């Protein structure tokens, strides 16, 4: 259900300040490392979780084979925060996060390290390679055909920990377009919790506009939920670093190595190629903490 959001400027700026004071993650030595009986994987709830789980089954099967451990898929319960809490409290071992949710997790004490990101296929508004964009969409045929026409309208955002569905719209978009803060420019702002729900909100006229991730929009097109010609693209952000796969830094080195190798070699196995096909990617690229430095200053 869509919930109305009364955006707090103080709260948002506070979250951005937290990103600027992140401390580096620290690995533990072999004597104190974690060697769990089974591994728990989860991801931020960007769209339909049942479909996402089916998409990830092939790579999780390989992960179990390569680590010798049962791999459990932890379904996100409510929002991005549930995954951040799981990493901080050590009941999630491996996760697929958004760039800002990764930074927030580290700032809140999660000892995690990014190790891989997708190299995406070019399709529609999603460019090839690692990276994506925040895009502002409106329904084709509506009165909202320009940024100026959106003044006083209803805007759908995703989640406070979303990069393309919250942080970039709040910071980069006003600076690039010269408009006032979103809470002043739009008469109403709602949080949908997932990118695909923001897309549907626009298509079903429950919201006049929405900021969503370019690759998730195209995944919704592939799933038959929307057509590219159904929307106007009124704005696209600069290229953003792609969503990181992370693992807990307290896992033993041999586990971390097996996890990283499973993902990085995905295009060399049948199951891995199936996973990549599912998520619209050709392969994986190495990811590191410094890849996300550009986002650490977005609130400044």
The tens-digit pLDDT sequence of the chain (300 residues) is 444 333 333 344 334 434 444 444 444 555 689 999 999 999 988 777 788 888 999 999 999 999 999 999 998 766 788 899 999 999 999 999 999 999 999 999 999 999 999 999 999 999 999 999 999 999 999 999 999 999 999 999 999 999 999 999 999 999 999 999 999 999 999 999 999 999 999 999 999 999 999 999 999 999 899 999 999 999 999 999 999 999 999 999 999 999 999 999 999 999 999 999 999 999 999 999 999 999 988 755
DSSP β-bridge partners for residue 285: 117
For residue 26, the tally of other CB atoms under 10 A from its CB is 9
Instruction: State the pLDDT at residue 165.
Output: 96
Nearest to 122 by CA among 113, 109, 131: 131
Report CA-CA distances (Å) from 105 to 175, 217, 242. 26, 25, 16
Instruction: State the pLDDT at residue 49.
Output: 77
User: Sign of torsion, CA 275 277 283 284?
Assistant: negative
Instruction: State the pLDDT at residue 300.
Output: 55
Instruction: State the pLDDT at residue 32.
Output: 87
- Give the tokens for residue 268: 């060399």
Taken in order of first residue, the domains within the chain and their CATH numbers are 3-8+124-236 (3.40.190.10), 12-120+243-297 (3.40.190.10)
Q: What is the pTM of this model?
A: 0.84
- Which residue carries 């958004």 as its tokens? 98
Nearest to 238 by CA among 283, 171, 183, 284: 171
Cα–Cα distance for residue pair 135/156, rounded to 1 Å: 12
**Residues contacting residue 224 through CB under 8 Å, at least 6 positions apart:** none
Q: Rounded to 5 degrees, what angle do the CA atoms 170, 213, 297 make? A: 40
- Give the tokens for residue 76: 């996100």
Instruction: State the pLDDT at residue 108.
Output: 94
Instruction: State the pLDDT at residue 78.
Output: 65
Q: In what order do the strands lie in the sheet with 70-73?
A: 70-73, 38-43, 94-96, 244-248, 112-120, 281-286
Instruction: State the pLDDT at residue 84.
Output: 92
Three-state SS string over the chain comes to CCEECCCCHHHHHHHHHHHHCCCCCCCCCCCCCECCCEEEEEECCCCCHHHHHHHHHHHHHHHHHHHCCEEEECCCCCCHHHHHHHHHCCCCCEEECCHHHHHHHHHCCCCEEEEEEEEECCECCECCECCECEEEEEECCCCCCCCHHHCCCEEEECCCCCHHHHHHHHHHHHHHHCCCCHHHHCCEEEECCCHHHHHHHHHCCCCCEEEEEHHHHHHHHHCCCCCHHHEEEEEECCCECCCEEEEECCECHHHHHHHHHHHHCHHHCHHHHHHHHHHCEEEEEECCHHHHHHHHHCCC
Instruction: State the pLDDT at residue 298.
Output: 75
Q: In what order do the strands lie in the sheet with 188-191?
A: 3-4, 188-191, 154-157, 209-213, 134-139, 231-236
Instruction: State the pLDDT at residue 80.
Output: 84
């Amino acid at each position: 259900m869509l919930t109305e959001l009364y955006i707090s400027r103080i709260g948002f700026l506070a979250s951005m300040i937290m990103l600027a004071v992140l401390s580096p993650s620290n690995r533990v030595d072999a004597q104190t490392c974690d060697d769990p009986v089974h591994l728990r994987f989860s991801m931020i709830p960007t769209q339909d979780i049942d479909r996402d789980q089916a998409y990830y089954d092939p790579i999780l099967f390989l992960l179990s084979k390569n680590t010798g451990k049962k791999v459990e898929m932890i379904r996100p319960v409510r929002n991005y925060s549930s995954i951040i809490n799981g990493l901080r409290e050590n009941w999630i071992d491996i996760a697929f996060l958004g760039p800002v949710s990764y930074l927030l997790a580290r700032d809140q004490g999660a000892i995690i390290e990014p190790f891989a990101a997708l190299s995406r296929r070019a399709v529609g508004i999603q460019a090839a390679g690692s990276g994506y964009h925040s895009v502002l969409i409106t329904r084709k045929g509506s009165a909202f055909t320009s940024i100026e026409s959106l003044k006083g309208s209803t805007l759908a955002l995703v989640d406070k920990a979303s990069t393309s569905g919250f942080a970039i719209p709040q910071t980069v978009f006003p600076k690039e377009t010269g408009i006032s803060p979103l809470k002043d420019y739009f008469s109403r702002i709602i949080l949908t919790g997932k990118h695909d729900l923001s897309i549907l909100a626009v298509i079903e006229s429950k919201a006049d506009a929405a900021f969503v991730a370019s690759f998730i929009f195209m995944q919704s097109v592939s799933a038959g939920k929307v057509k590219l010609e159904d929307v106007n693209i009124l704005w696209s952000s600069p290229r953003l670093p792609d969503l990181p796969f992370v693992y807990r830094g307290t896992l033993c080195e041999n586990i971390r190595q097996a996890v990283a190798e499973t993902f990085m070699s995905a295009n060399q196995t049948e199951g891995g190629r199936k996973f990549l096909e599912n998520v619209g990617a050709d392969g994986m690229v190495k990811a590191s903490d410094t890849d996300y430095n550009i986002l650490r200053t977005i609130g400044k």
